[in-house]
Amino acid sequence: MMTNKRISLAPMIDYTTMDFRAFARLFNPNIHLYTEMISTSAILKGDAKHHLRCHPSESPVVLQLGGSNPDEMAKAVRVTEALGFGYCEYNINVGCPSDRVQHNKIGACLMAEPQVVADMVRAMKNETDKPITVKHRIGIDDCDSYEFMRDFVQTVAEAGCTHFITHARIAWLQGLSPKQNREIPPLRYEEVYRLKQDFPDLTIEINGGISHLDDIKTQLAKVDGVMIGRAFYHNPYLMAECHLLWGSQPPSHRQIFENLISYLKKRADEGVNLAVLTRHYLGLFQGMAGARRWRQDLSGKSVLTVDEIYQSGDRVLSQNGQ
C-alpha cells in the first residue's frame, strides 16, 4: 500500500474546471486535484467567488495561482482563505509557457527570477498555514543546464517551499506554442531523479509524458509523486486504476457513471446547461465498445437533458456487460 507518495491531476487551463474536477473525484478519492491556473488579477479585480468556486466533493484540491508580484499573491491567498472554499494547498505556476501569461510575467519565464518566486513563497506563507508549492520546468530557452534548475530550487526552498512539481521538459518561450512545448522538447526524467537525490528532504513530484499505470509505478520508485494532465483528462479511468497503488479495487464504469448522473441532476437543478459541461466527460468510456457513439451523443448539442445523457451511457455499459 502506498504511503507518503502522491498522485495529482495537473492544472490545465480550460480543462480542470470545477465540473471536470468533480467528475475526476468520482474515479479516486486519493488523487490531489488542481484548479486551472487562476491569475491574481482575476481574484483581486474580478469576481473572486466565481473564479474560486469548487464543489465540496472535490477535496483534496489545490489552487494554482499565476502572478509575479509577492504582495498580490499574498492578497490572493488572503481573499481565498476568507471565502472558505477549503483548498488544501496553494501552488505557484512557474511552468506554463503560454504567450497569454508571459507578457504578464507569469509561468515558466519566472524560472529566470528565482528570487521573485522565493519572495512570493514567503509572502504567501505569511497568510496561511497551508503548504505553498511550486510547479516548474527543468529549464527555459538556453538556460537548460541541470545547475540552472538546481539553483532555482535551492533559492525557492530556502524561502520555505518544500514541495516542487517538475515538468521534465524545458520550455522554449519563443517559437513554440504551449501544445508544442508539451511535445517537442525531449523528456529528461534523469534530471528530476537527480534533483531528488540532491534534495532528499524535499518532496519532488514528476510531470510530463506519463500515461500508464506501469509508468506511474516506475516513477514512484524514483520520486515522491506523479502529476498527470492530458492522459487523465482523455482517459479518466486511469485515475480509477490508480486505486491499485493504494491497495484498493477500482470502482466500475457503472458506479462512476451513476455517480456522474447524480452530480449532473444537481447541476441541472441549479439551472446549468448540461451541454456546456459534457465535453469534460467524453473520455469516460475510452477503449470500450460504443465509446464513439457516446462521444457523438454528447458533442455539438446546444441542449442536453440528464435523461439523454443517461440513455447514451447506459447503452454503452449494457454493450459491455455492466
Q: What is the pLDDT of residues 288-319, one digit of tens each?
A: 999 999 999 999 999 999 999 999 999 999 99
Q: Is 304 left (phi over 0), alpha (psi -120 to 50) or beta?
A: beta
Q: 179-233: per-residue pLDDT in tens?
A: 888 888 999 999 999 999 999 999 999 999 999 999 999 999 999 999 999 999 9
Confidence of residue 104 (pLDDT cuts 50, 70, 90): low
Look at 86-95, 99-108, 270-279 and tell me which has the smallest mean pLDDT: 99-108
- pLDDT, tens digit, for every residue of 65-81? 999 999 999 999 999 99
Question: Is the pLDDT at 101 greater than 60, yes or no?
Answer: no
State pTM to two decimals.
Answer: 0.96
The helix (run of H) or strand (run of E) holding residue 206 is strand 203-207
Widest pairwise Cα distance in the chain? 57
Q: Which residues are the active-site residues?
A: 96
Radius of gyration of the chain (CA): 20
- pLDDT tens, residue by residue, 259-276: 999 999 999 999 999 999
pLDDT score of 160? 98
| Alpha carbons 272 and 51: distance in angstroms, whole number | 16
User: Model confidence over 28-40: pLDDT tens digits?
Assistant: 999 999 999 999 9
Closest CA to 26 of 211, 257, 283: 257
Question: Whole-angstrom Cα distance, residue 189 to residue 208?
Answer: 9
Cβ-defined contacts of 148-155 (< 8 Å, 24+): 148/111, 149/111, 149/191, 149/195, 150/195, 150/198, 151/114, 152/111, 152/114, 152/117, 153/195, 153/199, 153/202, 154/199, 155/114, 155/115, 155/117, 155/118
